[in-house]
Copies of this chain bind each other. A is one copy, B any other.
């Protein structure tokens, strides 16, 4: 098992393309710069480990048109959350057979539209959703999303998605009764599952349900192992090929009969291919009793860094002053919203010499940033995106 502690600088020398690009340019607003070659390297690295599994890129992680187009060229398939995401993939050249409509919450008219476009694979976790699919995409293939124990992930998911074992088995029967084709199960191990070994207990639980379904006479053919593939945010993660390969070993040992395996990396595909260029707006200390400085950036929770909610992700910040003495600070966004604070409970180390106007690079921000950005909260423009 190979651990890597830096954004793969050794194995991915083109990561420096981003640094070279931004070093030569000025930006008049916060900007995400995406390196498509870095996406390609990550695709190949994951594919090398995933082997026979199909990669369905989770479009929601970064739906930039050029990112999708590049992944189409690379041979990726796609997992779409909405009509708009399906339309995007089709426009960029993906075949309908390569796109799954993986949101368990779909508008009836969007199901009908997708069916008309040739989409044949849909997710569901409830009888009511199967009914909508049966009416609007008669005969479609469906997989049932299960809730499995996710407590080893950095951010376990809520109970919003998935159903329990007994419900899932009943839904397979119900799907058949509705004229649908129930092909298998999906689950999600949890976002940012940093070590492949963390998958074992979830896969164990899933295998029992899989076997119960087969015992009940369901010819399951599809196992969708979802996302959870990690990105480097400062804590050690396994390198992508080794990680994916270990996950597939765990899968193959438990699901020998699964003809088709899908994986849905999103964050693990694109996060490390992006860097945000931001700027310090103000550095201040507002009371002689304050323990820490406040550092305010021109980007915050409402303009791209939504995943700092609850201080869940600790991004890596770099400045030209990183050689100077460092000290803790509370990091906040530029809006007049008191909730627009990035890190306060665990202050961030930043150079003591930092001042307004300094450039700040925020590493590995290619996933779940640009589309989380608001339209213009407080009049601040949304995160700009440049693709190289």
Give A residues with C-beta under 8 Å from B: 58-60, 63, 80-86, 88, 102-108, 125-129, 132, 147, 155, 157-164, 166-167, 191, 279, 281-289, 294, 296, 298, 302, 306, 309, 332, 334-341, 344, 355-357, 370-382
- Lowest 10 CB-CB distances: which A-B pairs, in order? A126-B284, A84-B379, A82-B379, A85-B379, A163-B286, A157-B338, A81-B378, A164-B287, A158-B338, A105-B296
**Contact assessment for B166 and A281 in the assembled complex, using a CB-CB cutoff below 8 Å:** no
Q: Is the interface of A mostly helix, strand, loop or mixed?
A: loop
> How far, in whole Å, are A206 and B292 apart by their CA atoms in the complex?
24
**Contact assessment for B108 and A161 in the assembled complex, using a CB-CB cutoff below 8 Å:** no
Inter-chain contacts of A191 with B (CB < 8 A) = 338
CB distance from A91 to the nearest CB of B (A): 12
**Contact assessment for A375 and B378 in the assembled complex, using a CB-CB cutoff below 8 Å:** no
CB distance from A275 to the nearest CB of B (A): 19
Inter-chain contacts of A83 with B (CB < 8 A) = 379
**Contact assessment for B381 and A371 in the assembled complex, using a CB-CB cutoff below 8 Å:** no
Pick the residue among B60, B302, B381 that contacts A377 (CB under 8 A): B60
**Contact assessment for A127 and B284 in the assembled complex, using a CB-CB cutoff below 8 Å:** yes
CB distance from A308 to the nearest CB of B (A): 12
CB distance from A14 to the nearest CB of B (A): 28
Inter-chain contacts of A127 with B (CB < 8 A) = 284
- Given A107-B298, A281-B107, A373-B374, the answer on whether A81 and B379 have CB atoms closer than 8 Å is yes
